[in-house]
Amino acid sequence: MGGRKRQVLLVDDNPNDLELALEVLGQDSDGPEVVTAQGGPEALAYLHTHRDDRHRRPSLVLLDLNMPQLDGLGVLDAIRADEKLHDIPVVMLTTSREQKDIQAAYRRGANGYLVKPPDLSMFADTMRATLTFWLGLNQIAQPHL
């Protein structure tokens, strides 16, 4: 990657969940740079600002499902509809275990669906495993510009 850290966009309207995820993701100094957005509109504003800059474009979006104004499915739809963003892996990170939510996320192009575990150590393990897969083991195709 030429010395640049990969970037993860973490989108959640709950400040406590953002803080918890940042604590977990920030434990590894070799880990990715984490950028946060407190809701769908802020996430899309960030993505549209950085979609043409290959060095600042997120390598992964971790996206909460239930948010006011614009929910995670709406953000996912906007990402998949944008030809410069559609290939970014999006993993839903939510408390919803509802089958309809899981199916809707995958139908709309989610790459993964994680239910936020209530236990901090389990949450940390889940986050690390997700990042290992999406930023390490899984080769993410980069479009030619």
Distances (CA, A) of 108 to 3, 25, 72, 97: 33, 26, 11, 17
The per-residue pLDDT for range 16-46, each reduced to its tens digit, is 888 888 887 775 667 788 899 999 999 999 9
Span 44-52, average pLDDT: 87
Identify the pLDDT of residue 97: 93
What architecture (CATH level 2) is domain 7-136? 3-Layer(aba) Sandwich (3.40)
The segment with the largest mean pLDDT, out of 86-100, 111-125, 129-143, is 86-100
More confident residue, 4 or 66: 66
Q: What are the φ/ψ torsions at residue 62 (nearest 5 degrees)?
A: -100, 115
The band of 106, judged by pLDDT with boundaries at 50, 70 and 90, is very high
Q: Other CB atoms closer than 10 Å to residue 130's CB: what's the count?
A: 19
Show me where the domains of the chain are located. Answer: 7-136
Span 114-134, average pLDDT: 79
